[in-house]
Amino acid sequence: MVFSSLLFVYLFLPCCLFFYFLSRSIRARNVILLVFSLVFYAWTNPKYILLLVAMVFINWVCAIGIDSNGRKRVRKRWLVIDLIGCLTILGIFKYLGFASSILRSFTGFPKEIIDIALPIGISFYTFQLISYTIDVYRDEIPAERNFFIVLLYAGLFHQCIAGPIVRYQDVADEIEYRTIDSDELARGVTRFAVGLAKKTLLANTCAKVFDQLVPLDSVSQCSALALWLGMLFFMFQIYLDFSAYSDMAIGMGLMTGFHFRENFNYPYTGNSVTDFWRRWHISLSTFFRDYVYIPLGGNRCSKGRQIFNLFIVWFLTGMWHGASTNYIMWGLFFFVFLVLEKLFLLDVLSGLPKLFGHIYMLIVVFFGWIIFKFEDIGLMGTVFKGMFCANGNSFTSYETGTIFMNYIFFIVLCIVAVTPFIKELGRLLNKIGSKYKGMLIFKSAIDVVAPVVLLILSTMALAGNSYNPFLYFQF
């Protein structure tokens, strides 16, 4: 089941909220959320519920083992058991086929590659559970004795399958004690409606236009302009798609009393690659910073060691996104630019107008998304060559020009959507409303009408499109 489906929007979520608000105690509400979360996760393939429960059980037992012992050696032993258990399960389901294919290319063994279906969201809830156990080991939080609380934390349908990666210490109090007021409920509904619209009206349209411009079975025949435009639409799509899911997760959290941290902060407005990664998928970047980069030594070591630490982080970042060579290349691509910025590029950019840094960042990220998009390395090379007419292809074509003219205003709309323009406009209206009552009434009317309009438009878009999964489900 996906958030952007009529089944979820008009049946699953309303039923969950109905029974949730019908319940009076936090314990009863937690039971409702847990039941609906397990149904949500089991919708596609019920057997993977066993995997989720097993992962939670491992972390629950190991966290209690850590918390119950004062001896550092014993605590570390429990932590190692936990990490081996979690990463082994993740490795089997996500990387065994990839590792087997590499082994066969060198040794000819095994003859057949084992094809294991990837459980939805396994990377997200694995990292979430690992962060919980490590935080217990660091004495930042006590271990939770109630297994079902940990299961709710890891399996909450708001963010279980595509993030954001939530740390237990951020929601521990809210799991046990939380309240909901009408203002936060309204903000949650609005945030959900905005995310749904971003997905159904913008991200899905970007995907459709990309497929028109860059048909994968005839990439070498695409005009250069078609490839440039196609990747521009993919650049829009991946942000709008992923941030839409985070918007909906945060919105549903607000509806039920949870406050998840922001996962995106308008990354395409950054002034460097470093700035981009402070704004993109913040929960994942924070995870690698706190649980890999800093434990390796972070910045508190020699330059050479810092570069090595960054290499490990970005190699793992690429691997986390998928068991394919292109994801590793993508991670190391950004590693190179982040190292260059650390060594001298940031100093150079600081002496230039911000526009130069912004353009440089967009160019780097644009080409990074090409590496990310194409798992087939040969196909990726064809795209790169075609963008510079090196496939014997033309610069443009009648079809490309027609598509561009048909979607030129949509491109402008996407540019507005990936910037804080609407957010800043809202702040301006609030500021004016504090001085002029008429403007305040107008802004209040917009706050009420906008979510309804977005929901109606999203419903119309979904009516003829029953399958529109989020890009990050595969990770």
- Residue 467, pLDDT above cutoff 60: no
Per-residue pLDDT at 468: 61
pLDDT of 225 over the 80 cut: yes
Asked if residue 323 has pLDDT above 90, the reply is no
> Mean of the pLDDT values across residues 275-283?
96
pLDDT at residue 435, as a whole number: 77
Mean pLDDT of the chain: 91
Position 186 scores a pLDDT of: 93
Residue 302: C-alpha distances to residues 92, 298, 299, 305 (Å): 36, 10, 8, 5
Q: According to the model, what pLDDT value does residue 469 have?
A: 55
Q: Given the residues 158, 259, 281, 321, select the one marked as catalytic.
A: 321
Q: What is the pTM of this model?
A: 0.93
pLDDT at 29 over 80: yes
Tell me which residue of 12, 256, 56 sits closest to 153, measured CA to CA: 56
Q: At what angle do helices 437-463 and 421-433 cross, to 10 degrees?
A: 150
116's tokens: 């294991």
| pLDDT-derived band at 431, boundaries 50, 70, 90 | confident
pLDDT more than 70, % of the chain: 97
Residue 321 has pLDDT above 70, yes or no: yes
Which comes out higher in pLDDT, residue 437 or 394? 394
The whole-angstrom separation of Cα 460 and Cα 458 is: 5
321 belongs to the catalytic site: yes
Q: What is the pLDDT of residues 62-94, one digit of tens each?
A: 999 999 988 889 999 999 999 999 999 999 988
Q: Report pLDDT digits (tens) over 103-137.
A: 777 777 777 777 777 888 899 999 999 999 999 99
What is the distance between the alpha carbons of residues 13 and 18, in angstroms, rounded to a whole number? 8
Q: Rounded mean pLDDT of 428-444?
A: 79
- Whether the pLDDT of residue 51 is over 80: the answer is yes
Task: Report the 10 Å Cβ neighbour count for 350.
Answer: 11
pLDDT at 470 over 80: no
CA 70 to chain CA centroid, Å, is 37
Q: Is the pLDDT at 463 greater than 80, yes or no?
A: yes
Examine residue 451 and say whether the peptide bond preceding it is cis (omega within 30 degrees of 0).
no
Give the pLDDT confidence of 405-417 residue by residue, as tens digits.
999 999 999 999 9
Q: Quick check: 438 pLDDT over 90? A: no
Average pLDDT over residues 394-400: 93
State the average pLDDT over residues 45-52.
Answer: 89
Long-range contacts of 438-443 (CB under 8 A, 24+ apart): none
Q: Count of CB atoms within 10 A of residue 395's CB?
A: 12
pLDDT of residue 36: 96
**Minimum mean pLDDT among 71-75, 148-152, 338-342, 360-364: which range?**
71-75
Note the pLDDT of residue 471: 59
Confidence of residue 307 (pLDDT cuts 50, 70, 90): very high
